[in-house]
Every structure is written in C-alpha cells, then in structure tokens.
Amino acid sequence: MLLLPAALQTNVSPAANVT
C-alpha cells in the first residue's frame, strides 16, 4: 500500500494511510 497513491490507500482502507 505504501507504493500506491494516498487516494487508493484510503479507498482500500483508511488505516492504510498511517501505514
């Protein structure tokens, strides 16, 4: 998820933004 854009991270799971 780190390599994906912030928008996609939020789309998959809001918590991914922190990771």
By CB atoms closer than 10 A (0-12, 13-18, 19+), residue 8 is exposed
> Looking at residues 7-19, what average pLDDT do you find?
56
- To the question of pTM greater than 0.75 for the whole model, the response is no
Contacts of 13 (CB under 8 A, 6+ apart): 1
Task: Answer whether 16's CB lies under 8 Å from 1's CB.
Answer: yes
What separation in angstroms does the CA of 5 have from each of 10, 18? 9, 13
> Looking at residues 2-6, what average pLDDT do you find?
57
Return mean pLDDT, the chain.
56
